[in-house]
Structure 1
């Protein structure tokens, strides 16, 4: 989310892809215990930190990592 932090915005395509990854249990690499959903979860948190809520879709603003 460096782009969001540096430029203060994120595009709709990125948000759509991110939303789809929040339930993806695919490992981030072969043999890794980390899954895509975990990275996506962290990215949503970054968006909420670096961008004003009015620039984000409702699902991001309502998102909790619990």
Structure 2
């Protein structure tokens, strides 16, 4: 495995861990019940974990 691949994998794992913790803290998911398809979508779009969770908060409004 290349250095670049290892760095990507480490970044992805850290991002997913942070995302899961934020989703649980925001009461948007229970431990072990995070929607990983949605998580991967936001990860692949380049969102930060905090921005991805904020986007999913009830009542979140799109900027006009």
Alignment TM-score > 0.5, same fold: no
**TM-score when normalising by structure 2:** 0.32
**TM-score when normalising by structure 1:** 0.31
- Greater C-alpha Rg: 2
